[in-house]
Structures are given as C-alpha cells and as structure tokens.
Amino acid sequence: MILYGEADRRVFCCPKQNAGPERIMPRWVQNRGKNVYRKRYGTLKNWYREYTKLGGSMNREEIKKFYEENMYGVWREGEKVTYELLGPDTVPENEEKKPFFFEVRGGELVRVNIEANGRKASFVFHAFLPGEKRDGGSDHKSGSEASVPGSVTGSGASRTGTPVKNPNGSPFIVCMHPIFPVDYALSMGYALLVTDTREIASDDINRKGAFYDLYPYTDDPADQTGVLMAWAWGASKVLDAVIGDGCTSVDHGRQTGGLAGHFGLDPDAAMVTGVSRWGKATAVCGAFDRRFRMSIPACSGARGLALYNYFSEGKTYDLSAIGGPKEYTYTKNEPLDCLQSDAERGWFNDRFLEYKEPSQIPIDQENLLILAMDKDRYTFVIAACMSEDWVNAPSMWECYKKADEAYRAAGLADRLVAHFHREGHAVLEEDMALLIEYFNHMHYGMESKTPLESLKTTVFAGQE
C-alpha cells in the first residue's frame, strides 16, 4: 500500500488493499450524502465492506472538504498575526471571588492580534513556563535550565519521570482551557499556553468572539464556521505567534521574532489539548493544522472521536482491570439530536443540521485521526471508562481501532496511542505523565519505561 511519497496526499478510510494510482470515490460522498449507493448495498456497513474490497480511498483534501462543508465549517488561515507581551497576570490566586471554572489565572499574559479581510480582532492567552514562580512572577528560563525532577501518582501507582532537556527550548502544550496537572508539566520542562476560548468564539449560537469578528457567520455556506473549528483556529493562532513565520511582536515599540525566542519555547515541539467539547475541537485542530507535533484530544465523545453508529448504552463491561467494577453497564450515550439542539448546534455549520440519522453521514470520525497521520506527528487519545456514559468511551475505542488500521498499514502504528483512565472527565496527572513520557521518547529519543503496546490497548479490548 502506498501512503507516502506520491500517496502522501492520499488517506485510506479502511485500507486493506492498494488501490493503485486511480482513486475510487463513492458517488454518494460526491453528492453530499444522497445515498445513491444504498440502493445497491442496502446499508452503510455493507457498502463500506464492498468499498473496502475495492481498495476505496479519499485523499486528504477531499476528507477535509467533507468536514468543512458538512460538519465543522470552513478552516481559516493565512492572517497577519502580531502579539503583545502584557506582563504577569496580577490577579491574586487567593482572592475571595471564585473564578469561572474555565477562567484562566496566573502566568504571563500575551495578546494575539489578528488581521484579515480589512478586519481586526484579538484575544489573550496565559503562558505558564518551566521555572515559573507560583506567585505570578517568572524567570523566563528555557526548559533545559528550569527543569526539575517531578513525580505523579495515578491509579494508585507512583510514577517518576525525567525532565526533558532540549537546547532548542521547552516543548509546549496549547491548552483550550485550564488543566489540572500544571505543576507536573512545568516540573518536567513543559510549558503550557492556556486560552480562554470564550474570547475566541462564544459557546452558543450567537457567533461572537474574535473569530467571528474576522469571519462573520452568514447564510452563505462559504461563510459558515462552527464553534469547534473556531476554537481550533484559536489554538492555531497561538502557534502562529510562537513560531513567528510572518508574525511580528509589538514589544515596547520594537519588532521582535516569535514568542519561541522570548519564552524559550521549541516551535518544533508544539502540542494541543482540550477536554470534552474542547476535546472535539482538539481532534479537529490536529486534523487541520499539521504544524502541531502532537494532538491530545481528551474525553471528546460524539462528533469528536466517538463513532456515529456505535452505541454502548445497555452494554455491560468488565472494568476490574483498572480498578472499576466487574460489571459496569453503560446508560445513555449522547444522540445526534442533542448535538443539533440550541445548546450545541453552534458547534457546527448549518449543513450538519440537515442530517436526521447518524447513518446518513457517509464518513465516520476515525477520519479525523487519519487526517492527523504523518511520520513526524503523534496523537495521544484520552478517555474515561466510567461515570460519563454520555461520552461513550467504548465508541471512542472503536474509532481508535479503525484509525489504527490505517496507521499500521502505513507503518506508523507507534504514532497513534491511547490511555483510557478509570474515571474523570479531565486530563489527569496519570495521563500527563504518560503523554510526556511518550512524547519524550518519540520526539527526543529519551528512554521510556512504559511499553508502547500498553498504549495501544484499553480495558475495552476483547469486550466488543
């Protein structure tokens, strides 16, 4: 099978055979879900089986186009980006007023300014750097200078890691909201750049925020971008500011390079993460911005990395291997009509609202993972196995397996891994320890004590 070289533009939905130089694209995808092939094959499953026998494929651009036209909306890039250093966040961490759950506090404040189509917009993110003092001050040291050993406890077992020492600067994670294991990440030499996505795009149907200031949402499909794609765009603009390609900084009247030089960051070691709805946006970001070295979608659920047509409700699983019950029965999973409700339909474009049944959607969510596939990129999928049945972790495992077929066929099985922890709708410290160890091994060549195969399976394996 060819997936690189000439075929680097080609992605196989379920690769079994080499399709050769010709490209077989189903007419029902070309016709945006008119289901012409259903008359012949009856069901999506039967069609998919026959399609696979033919070695059917869609190239990357066609899959991206499908997602843009039928689900997430238009991906935007190429704007003029500048940034301003605003200094440390001076809001006292111990002030009596409790912040909004996803409100960011502390770190160094950076304003990202974006210009496009004669319009201007901006948003602020918080940079937490290795060696940063917890009172809000910062030493601005590189990862090699600021790293100190750290340990973390997860699932009852203590883990100790080795901090990364990289002369090119600290690896960093763009977080779409605050995450819990901040101190552990910093102790391991990793920086965190944390956004408040409410400034980028409001989490509703009002289409407010920096993204929509630049790209107003209209009735024209070419102007329609959902909130998930807008949040992914926000992470991409943070990366623009770090890398500095075509980006300038306004720093006391001086033009400087990207943030990588100022904060001691390695622009070649960028990651992105988010949980739940932001996990969906993270999966989208990993698919559309290939500059991120690793994407870390967590607990993303329906229209993230859960398959459309795999439901776990009513099914019983043995979770005792991870400290859960011997028999755990899943209750209701999130259905399509919930995603199309007023509370969530803002995440998508108008075309997505036309689907009445999941079976009408011609490609499934493993394609987000396949779009992220590359010999120099990694994806670390996180999910929780219990107490969030709505998110449907077994379906995310099925999605992972389908994508893994493509990765294995391309000889890239070690670029896609997963960790499904027992419980917690979050990136936990045990997740952070594992993903840092994995990235250090894959990207920096550091020794890993965790066998790769333990990140290629979950408690759901063999319980399908």
Query: Which of 242, 270, 298 is at the close of a domain?
Result: 270
Assigned domain for 436 exists: no
Rounded Cα distance, 401 and 407, in Å = 10
pLDDT at 166: 75
Assigned domain for 233 exists: yes
Indicate if 223 and 116 belong to the same structural domain: yes
Assigned domain for 316 exists: no
pLDDT at 191: 97
Tokens 């390079």 identify what position? 257
pLDDT at 145: 32
Assigned domain for 339 exists: no
Give the SS3 label for residue 9.
Answer: helix
Rounded Cα distance, 105 and 125, in Å = 10
Continuous segment of H or E residues that includes residue 404: helix 393-409
Query: Which of 237, 255, 270 is at the close of a domain?
Result: 270
Residue range(s) defining the domain that contains residue 13 = 1-70
Assigned domain for 451 exists: no
Q: Are 279 and 304 in contact (CB under 8 A)?
A: yes
Assigned domain for 209 exists: yes
Q: Residue 306: left if φ>0, alpha if ψ -120 to 50, beta else—which one? A: beta
Indicate if 217 and 235 belong to the same structural domain: yes
Indicate if 212 and 238 belong to the same structural domain: yes
Q: Given the DSSP bridges, would you call strands 265-275 and 294-298 parallel, antiparallel or unpaired? A: parallel
Q: What would the DSSP string read from start to end of 276-305?
A: THHHHHHHHHHHH-TT-SEEEEES--BTTT
pLDDT at 90: 83
Assigned domain for 107 exists: yes
Q: Are 366 and 281 in contact (CB under 8 A)?
A: no
Indicate if 29 and 151 belong to the same structural domain: no
Give the SS3 label for residue 236.
Answer: helix
Indicate if 66 and 201 belong to the same structural domain: no
Indicate if 265 and 156 belong to the same structural domain: yes
Indicate if 230 and 107 belong to the same structural domain: yes
Assigned domain for 337 exists: no
What residue type is 1 in one-letter code?
Answer: M
Indicate if 52 and 142 belong to the same structural domain: no
Domains of the chain: total: 2
Rounded Cα distance, 261 and 257, in Å = 7
Q: What is the pTM of this model?
A: 0.82
Indicate if 56 and 85 belong to the same structural domain: no
What residue type is 294 in one-letter code?
Answer: M
Indicate if 65 and 84 belong to the same structural domain: no
Q: Are 334 and 390 in contact (CB under 8 A)?
A: yes
Indicate if 35 and 150 belong to the same structural domain: no
pLDDT at 165: 72
Indicate if 95 and 63 belong to the same structural domain: no
Residue ranges of the chain whose pLDDT lies below 50: 1-56, 133-159, 249-255
Query: Which of 239, 270, 301 is at the close of a domain?
Result: 270
Rounded Cα distance, 343 and 203, in Å = 9
What are the Cα distances from residue 84, in Å, to 231, 242, 254, 422, 446? 20, 12, 11, 41, 35
346-359 pLDDT, tens digit each? 999 999 999 999 99
Rounded Cα distance, 189 and 28, in Å = 49
